[in-house]
Structure 1
Amino acid sequence: MKDMLMNIESRYERGLAKLREIDGEAGERVLESLDGIAPDFARYLIEFPFGDIYSRPSLDLKSREIAVVAALTALGNAAPQLKVHIQGAINVGVTRAEVVETIMQMAVYAGFPAALNGLTVAKEVFAQGAKQ
């Protein structure tokens, strides 16, 4: 039982470190927004996506964030999350041009409306001074 608890803590700690590496303060704000309503969900968000998936060695963070930007663009209904992940992509070395090309590529698979919405979100992130 003690080993299981230690593994859970390491998942959380590993996930929190990865979240901070990618999203910085934006990730912290997402977690804080869940405090009053679903703190357990915040823990799941840290442990599974960031502690388990993002921490795997086969893809670097730049590749992972490009994939996430593509997926969120294709969904077409995840603008707040897309905003956070565009900034996260830039934080880990994706250029603005690469973000734009990734979103444009989604027009082929998810349609022009999804790509237009994604480009609108990217424009907002860039206007807010997203570091390059």
Structure 2
Amino acid sequence: MTQVHDTRYQRGLAALSAIDGEAGEKVVAQLADIAPDFARYLIEFPFGDIYSRPGLDLRSREIATIAALAALGNAQPQLKVHITAALNVGVTRDEIVEILMQIAVYAGFPAALNALFAAKEVFSSHPPSGAAQ
């Protein structure tokens, strides 16, 4: 059983690093002193089990994730992490804006506005692709 646990954890760490890079590692580190088990679950389940499945590529998974978080309307910190992740896996700024505009139809204007302002904040701290860093 430990080997299965270690495999899930290692697979999760690899996925987290590929998707979120330093931002994901910071979230896990911030949980270490208050809820280390939750930090492990965060690595094993979403990243080790779900993100690592073969059915969708990481780009598609991040599109679905930012749409879901934006639709919630109350998950801006997580939305910002996943907007960054979406940029990391090849989703463009224009695509992110279109996704967030699309959710206005189903989640309402307030949720879309909150999400667009979150995106604007992320975009301001991440140069566009091809820009000098």
Deviations 1:65-92 (A, max 9, x none): 0000000000000000000000000000
Work out whether 1:19 is the aligned partner of 2:9: no
Please give the root-mean-square deviation of Cα atoms over the aligned residues, in Å.
0.8
Matched residue, 1:67:
64
Unmatched tracts of structure 2, length 5 or more: none
Distance in structure 2 (CA, Å) of the matches to 1:131 and 1:45? 29
Alpha-carbon separation, structure 2, partners of 1:20 and 1:130: 20
Once the two structures are TM-superposed, the CA of residue 130 in structure 1 deviates from its matched residue by 4.7
- Structure 1 segments unaligned to the other structure (5+ residues): none
- Corresponding residue of 1:10: 7
The 3-state SS of whatever aligns with 1:59 is coil
Matches within 5 A, 1:26-37: 26-37=23-34
How many residues align structurally? 129
Of 35, 43, 53, the match for 1:56: 53
Whether 2:97 is the aligned partner of 1:82: answer: no
TM-score, normalization by structure 2: 0.95
Q: Which residue of 1 aligns with 2:98?
A: 101
Structure 1 ranges of 4+ moved more than 4 A? none
% identical aligned pairs: 70
Normalised TM-score (structure 1): 0.96
* Separation of aligned partners in 1, 2:13 and 2:126: 25
Shift of the alpha carbon at 1:129? 1.7
Contact 1:75 1:114 in 2 (8 A): yes
- Matched with 1:126 is 123
Deviation at 1:131, TM superposition (A): 4.8
Counterpart of 2:111 in structure 1 is: 114
Aligned-residue offset at 1:36: 1.1
